[in-house]
Structure 1
Amino acid sequence: MIKFENVSKKYPNGVTALKDVNLTIEQGEFVAIIGLSGAGKSTLIRCINRMHSISDGTLTVDNEDVTALGSKELRRFRRKIGMIFQSFNLVTRISVLNNVLVSSVPELSFWRKLTGSFTKEDKIRGLEALDKVGILDKAYTRVDQLSGGQQQRVALARTLAQNPSIILADEPVASLDPVTAKVVMDDFKRINKEMDISVLINIHHVDLALEYADRIIGIAKGEIVYDGPSSDVDQEVLNKIYQNQPIEVVESSVSPV
């Protein structure tokens, strides 16, 4: 369980990104976070694994106070939280499998990771993760030979190899075409349901948020202005989240491949 209690975040430049946020996210939920650019979506997600430290309040994950963790404890804590970025964050000159194993075997040196010095058990775990996202056949392909959608699925497999209980995704489909975006979102949804992994996605595509997430959190100027089922989101709610700026919400007519 993730719990924000009166959490605020103020950056050194004076910008307040989060204001008195109170949220409880139960294990196994699929949550989409929506709002205008600069509303605080990325900050909210990145506070959970302490990529950003909160300024005030209390933030706990599975009853563990995130702000109280020392450096060694923080590394251990982050092992159970997967992080997916828009830019994939892969090493493009090495194989897909080695990329999956880079994060899942943290005790190896950087150079041993680059040269593929992994155990048989490590490799089996990595191959199983690739199989879960449907790209096992690309295991020994260099990452720079893959499409954007395939690279994002490698990033997801890398996270799965950590055996996380939570996956945080910061605009994971922003750079993908509509068809590929739905394929990746299908992977997130299936993993959420089959593996009971909590998934929190910061996403600009409102139509995808409403289609895939069970729960929507809407942020405006650092404050939570909506928190509820995706089925209850209507134009009035969207106007509140997006400050009455035009926002087109459409059902995608493209079927995933």
Structure 2
Amino acid sequence: MIEFNNVEKVYPNGTEALKEINLHIDKGEFVAIIGLSGAGKSTFIRCINRMHDITGGKLHVDEINVGALKGKAIRKFRRKVGMIFQSFNLVNRTTVLKNVLVAFAPDNPFWRTLTGIYTKAQKRQALEALDQVGILDKAYMRVNQLSGGQQQRVALARTLAQEPDIILADEPIASLDPVTSKRVMKDFARINKELDITIVMNIHHVEVALEYADRIIGIRAGKVVYDGKASMVDEGVLKLIYEGDVEELNFAREENKDYVG
């Protein structure tokens, strides 16, 4: 489904964010990307849906050469690749339902988007997406009346309304408390299994990644240094990913202890 072939990403300032990335992600996998800050995790995620252009190699999604897409083709492609951010990207002063309906804006005539008019089918689909993440009862509340965890679930519902094949998540629980983080991660895991949606998640909380993901990709200084089952990750693998920085690894574990169990 997602194929990296010698992918490289060099930013204009000369920073080599990704180096010789070669890997394949199958449909229905739940993949967590872990590593130190600045290792290239976010760049990895954002190259998949063309938020960032690669500067070398080839990147294919469903046999589509992502780098060759232009204009409307990029927008059409992104309909099947949902994106979840740490910051939620919601309109706080409007309702939960209207935030989810934004998912349909690219498909609607401009005047419908401008006036906020959506079809009955689109409204039904948005409500079903809210039901899938357990917040249907919040549909007519304003977003700024919700907790952080509920807002992240609104963002997830908005993505589900697109009916994506892939969900990319860039640090989706970074700003959430431990209890809420578990609820959100359980939503991701359930959606992955029940809807067979591929999930690729950049995550800071190592133990959370090991608990919920099926596969771990460890990135260090722009290179993949581990790619395998979460169940196979041991102390040696973590030291390899975290450059042998035991102090950093211990700090991460201490920070993560309330997020698992």
**What is the TM-score with the length of structure 2 in the denominator?**
0.94
Between the aligned partners of 1:9 and 1:27, the Cα distance in structure 2 is 24
CA shift, 1:117, in A, is 1.3
DSSP-derived class of the 1:129 partner: helix
CA shift, 1:53, in A, is 0.3
Alignment CA distance shift 1:90-1:16 (3 Å): same
CA shift, 1:110, in A, is 7.1
Superposed CA offset, 1:103-126 (max 9, x none): 223234678547541111111000
Q: Is 1:179–1:255's contact at 8 Å kept on the other side of the alignment?
A: no
Alignment CA distance shift 1:138-1:243 (3 Å): same
CA shift, 1:231, in A, is 0.6
Which segments of 5 or more consecutive residues in structure 1 lack a partner in the other structure?
A: none
Between the aligned partners of 1:114 and 1:150, the Cα distance in structure 2 is 26
Superposed CA offset, 1:176-233 (max 9, x none): 0000000000000000000000000000000100000000000000000000000111
Q: For residue 159 of structure 2, what is the aligned residue in structure 1?
A: 159
DSSP-derived class of the 2:127 partner: helix
Which segments of 5 or more consecutive residues in structure 2 lack a partner in the other structure?
A: none
Between the aligned partners of 1:114 and 1:195, the Cα distance in structure 2 is 32
DSSP-derived class of the 2:27 partner: coil
Q: Is 2:165–2:198's contact at 8 Å kept on the other side of the alignment?
A: yes
Alignment CA distance shift 1:135-1:195 (3 Å): same
Between the aligned partners of 1:109 and 1:89, the Cα distance in structure 2 is 23
Q: Is 2:208–2:259's contact at 8 Å kept on the other side of the alignment?
A: no
DSSP-derived class of the 1:244 partner: coil
Q: Which moved more, 1:100-109 or 1:245-254?
A: 245-254
Q: For residue 236 of structure 2, what is the aligned residue in structure 1?
A: 236
DSSP-derived class of the 1:106 partner: helix
DSSP-derived class of the 2:45 partner: helix
Correspondence list, 1:209-248, <5 A: 209-245=209-245, 246=247, 247-248=249-250
Between the aligned partners of 2:103 and 2:30, the Cα distance in structure 1 is 24
Letter in 1 for 2:50: R
Q: Say how many residue pairs are matched.
A: 256
Alignment CA distance shift 1:254-1:39 (3 Å): closer
Please tell me whether residue 96 in structure 1 is matched to residue 93 in structure 2. no
Q: For residue 85 of structure 1, what is the aligned residue in structure 2?
A: 85
Letter in 2 for 1:197: I
Q: For residue 148 of structure 2, what is the aligned residue in structure 1?
A: 148
Q: Percent identity?
A: 66
Between the aligned partners of 1:49 and 1:236, the Cα distance in structure 2 is 32
CA shift, 1:70, in A, is 1.3
Q: For residue 207 of structure 2, what is the aligned residue in structure 1?
A: 207
DSSP-derived class of the 2:32 partner: strand
Between the aligned partners of 2:135 and 2:141, the Cα distance in structure 1 is 10
Between the aligned partners of 1:36 and 1:255, the Cα distance in structure 2 is 20
Q: For residue 139 of structure 1, what is the aligned residue in structure 2?
A: 139
Between the aligned partners of 1:64 and 1:16, the Cα distance in structure 2 is 25
Q: Is 2:36–2:242's contact at 8 Å kept on the other side of the alignment?
A: yes
DSSP-derived class of the 2:107 partner: coil
